[in-house]
Structure 1
Amino acid sequence: MAKLSVRYYLYMIRGDEIIRDMEGEEFESLAEAVDAAQQSLRDMAAEHLTQATRMTMKAIEIYDETGRHQTSVEAVTAIAACLPPWS
């Protein structure tokens, strides 16, 4: 039996600017959309590190098909999750 997909919209928050996702993307769950947002933020951070530039993206906010805010993924949290624990 095929799983149902839900369209989520990932809005990027850069400073006070909101970059709206007008097309959205289909995910099987909100957790899958969160994983995609975390990976996007990590990829952006890696790109900024290799270019020695400052990352200004603060978060990705996830909205459902009705326009209702579901959750936010903070850049610092997404990046910290893949670092070793600090002693």
Structure 2
Amino acid sequence: MNDKNSFSITSSIEFTFKESEMRNIAYTSFLPEYNKLKSTRSQTIMKKKNGDVLLFNIESKDITAFRASMNDVISFGKIIESVEKIINK
């Protein structure tokens, strides 16, 4: 995947929800941001898995692009976590 480096970086992140409805809400909520993640140095694929898992597969050409992609997914996770706290009050 990389022209300059002799390596690429691949990682997966799974968010497992208690209910598939919340997973679907999270998926739909992230779609607008997901569509903006297009990059020549990193690719993020988001998919629903089983009934309650939201899966992110990341493949990057370099460590900086990988970190940026990971930060996007982590920031999304923090937002979902905050929303769940508000809902469950």
TM-score of the superposed pair, with normalisation by structure 2 = 0.35
Between Structure 1 and Structure 2, the one with more strand by share is 1
Which one has a larger percent helix, Structure 1 or Structure 2? Answer: 2
